């Protein structure tokens, strides 16, 4: 049997906010099982309970309708905080530099996407100042939007976990 790495809570939540693949779900399942007992960890267990037996095609469709094509939730913190203004560009440039300093690659996402931001929080004890006033309010907007659209969507648990991680990281 292949050993599957486990990760801390911010990284596990970041993995759940990525487009799902069979391999990622296997890693997520193992990692969620290894988490502690806090609020974010409980939410991730609820998420896995809801999607754990879902066929990958169904989970991909759920992810796409939630976050991608005509999304219910826009997972871009800078967009929610600043719209498409100059401030968003400055915010993303600051994030990109801060992520580079701790070896976080946003991969194919913009640096203000929730996935690389959560991985960045896992990698630093001192997040950039510009993140503090916008992160929790942006995630709260995402969470409220999804709950309003479909409170039974399993990704509600991921967004609640992300908000808890953000609140803990901004202390």
Give one DSSP letter per residue of 131-171, joined into a string: GHHHHHHHHHHHHHHHHHHHTT-THHHHHHHHHHHHHHHT-
pLDDT at 8: 84
pLDDT digits (tens, 9 = 90+) for 50-91: 998 899 999 999 999 999 877 889 999 999 999 989 999 999
Residue 117, in any domain of the structure = yes
Give the gyration radius of the chain's Cα atoms: 15
Cβ atoms 133, 91 nearer than 8 A: no
Residues of the chain under the 50 pLDDT cut: 1-4
Residue 4, in any domain of the structure = no
Residue 14, in any domain of the structure = yes
Residue 123, in any domain of the structure = yes
pLDDT at 25: 87
Q: What's the domain range around 85? A: 9-169
pLDDT at 2: 39
Q: How far apart are CA 50 and CA 38, in angstroms?
A: 19
Residue 1, in any domain of the structure = no
pLDDT at 3: 43
Residue 98, in any domain of the structure = yes
Dihedral, CA atoms, 41, 46, 52, 54, nearest 10 degrees? -140
Residue 75, in any domain of the structure = yes
Residue 39, classified by CB atoms within 10 Å of its CB into exposed (0-12), middle (13-18) or buried (19+), is middle
Residue 3, in any domain of the structure = no
Q: How many domains is the chain partitioned into structurally?
A: 1
């Amino acid at each position: 049997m292949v050993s599957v790495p486990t990760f801390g809570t911010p990284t596990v939540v970041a993995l759940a906010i990525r487009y799902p693949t069979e391999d990622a779900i296997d890693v997520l399942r193992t990692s969620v099982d290894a988490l502690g007992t806090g609020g974010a960890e409980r939410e991730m267990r609820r998420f896995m309970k809801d999607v754990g037996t879902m066929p990958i095609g169904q989970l991909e469709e759920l992810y796409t309708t939630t976050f991608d094509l005509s999304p219910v939730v826009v997972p871009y913190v800078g967009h929610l905080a600043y719209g498409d203004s100059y401030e968003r560009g400055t915010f993303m440039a600051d994030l990109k530099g801060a992520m580079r300093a701790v070896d976080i690659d946003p991969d194919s996402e913009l640096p203000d996407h929730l996935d690389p931001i959560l991985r960045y929080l896992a990698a630093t004890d001192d997040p950039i100042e510009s993140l503090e006033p916008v992160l929790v309010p942006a995630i709260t907007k995402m969470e409220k939007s999804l709950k309003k659209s479909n409170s039974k969507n399993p990704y509600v648990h991921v967004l609640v976990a992300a908000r808890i991680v953000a609140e803990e990281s901004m202390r």
